[in-house]
Structure 1
Amino acid sequence: MGGGVTDPVDDEALLARLRAAPVLAGPLPRFDPDEAPDAPGPLFAEWLELALADGVPEPGVMTLSTAGADGVPGARVLMLRGIDTADCAFRFTSDSRSPKGHDLAANPRAALSWYWPAHGRQIRMAGPVDVLGEEPTRQDFLGRGATSRTAAFTGVMSAPLSGPEEFERAQRTARRQVADEPERVPGTHTLYRLRAERAEFWQADPARFHLRLGYERTGAGWTRGLLWP
């Protein structure tokens, strides 16, 4: 596959435009760390509920960061598929044959992060990841629409693709499969759970006195405290 000749990029001009772009324009929500709950799960739910109420775009979209046995990090954006507020645990799915699936098989620890520019808020969670059982996985998959289920049967995530024709053939086959076997679940569809051991909540301030509140799991409870922003 080839490409056309492009003009050289003026990196300095591009950077100048980036620096001139507005950031933390506000208005931003109020956050008082002294009023925060003793555990991070309820605070996550509180921030998510406000994001939904205020129409923050796609607040369930998050970044998953992993590293495999070779230590090479990888990050990608995916959807939050479930929350256990009391235990501060978060569910997401993938194909076990994908790069993140291989990473998690070799090194079952990961980090999740959310950034909501409209609220100037960032949330970070990190901890061990486990694979949930067959029935929760089945419920997750069959609870999706036909288009999402068709995508799961179309090819192998992140594998090389020769072009649109190969994709279209695989998609036609997948559509027939979903129509003919509506209860079928791909054997590699995997429901993961990250149980946070550390959590951070960052609230931006246009005056740059950002607030960062950290939590750390200690046995059955949590410790918390302010961190330098």
Structure 2
Amino acid sequence: MGDGDRTGGGTGPVDDAELLARLRAAPVLAGPLPEFDPGQAPGTPGPLFAQWLDRALADGVPEPGVVTLSTAGADGTPSARVLMLRGIDTSDCAFDFASDSRSPKGLDLAVNPVAALTWYWPAHGRQIRLAGPVSVRGPEDTRRDFLGRSETARAAALVGRVSAPLRDAGEYERAMRVAREQVAAEPERVPATHALYRLRAREAEFWQGNPVPFHLRLRYERDGDGWTRNLLWP
């Protein structure tokens, strides 16, 4: 096996055992990692999320607004994908994301409006997990979200056909040309299928990697109008 195969740069097969050995040898939680004292954490999760996000932005953690959204359809089959965070309400621990309502995630949420959001920032060894009910934001918020995007992003949304089979790149390029013309001709146009969703966290967990003495897990759960907070075994 040549070097190109071992690094994934070649076209030959990669040996599973070798790949796993290299994976296990890769550094994990190499640090330095930020300190986290659960005893000093805020009483509600929203402000703690803001603190962690602020630190990630200040330290130049790559793409801290990228989050994994997990949904499930009527049959319970889970599905996950990575997208961009579109809004934050730390006072209520609520978070916005957007999609075409006809997309797989939009169809999941139409029949099962509950989801989970997961952030992982390797440079800080930090993971944040949120789960709760999802609602659709109003037309003004949805419009503001869409029109705040770049022209290219708006054209891509106007193309539609999310997750439909694509014959070739040329088909998409032709559709994008038409969509770009639409954006130029109607700059205020918002697709009827564009949806802005809000997940209101029912539970939130903050995980801080800390090999010595142990990883820290702080869990919040809504309790009426307030929150309960517990440290979990790693």
1:153 to 153, 158, 179: 158
Counterpart of 1:209 in structure 2: which amino acid? F
Aligned with 1:60 (options 53, 59, 65): 65
Structure 1 position 132 matched with structure 2 position 132: no
What SS is found at the alignment partner of 2:159?
Answer: coil
In structure 1, what is the equivalent of residue 108 of structure 2?
103
Question: Which deviates further from its counterpart, 99-108 or 206-215?
Answer: 206-215
Q: Distance in 2 between matches of 1:152 and 1:213?
A: 38
The 5 A counterparts of 1:87-102 are: 87-102=92-107
1:155/1:167 contact within 8 Å kept: no
**TM-score normalised by length of structure 2:** 0.94
Kindly state the Cα deviation for residue 116 of structure 1 after the two structures are TM-superposed. 0.1
In the TM superposition, 1:106-121 aligns within 5 A as 106-121=111-126
2:182 corresponds to 1:177: yes
Q: In 2, are the aligned partners of 1:25 and 1:206 still within 8 Å (CA)?
A: no
Alpha-carbon distance, 1:208 to partner: 6.0
How far does residue 206 in structure 1 lie from its aligned partner after superposition? 3.0
Unaligned runs of 5+ in 1: 1-5
- Describe the superposition over 1:125-179 as per-residue Cα deviations: whole angstroms up to 9, x where unpaired: 0000000111100011111111111111123111111111110110000000000
Shift, 1:207, TM fit: 2.9
Q: Which runs of 4+ in 1 moved over 4 A?
A: none
Q: How is 1:11-26 mapped onto 2 (pairs within 5 angstroms)? A: 11-26=16-31
Q: TM-score scaled by structure 1?
A: 0.96
Residue number among 193, 211, 219 corresponding to 1:214 in the alignment: 219
Unaligned runs of 5+ in 2: 1-10
Measured after TM superposition, the shift of residue 8 of structure 1 is 3.6
Q: CA RMSD in A?
A: 0.9
Aligned length: 224
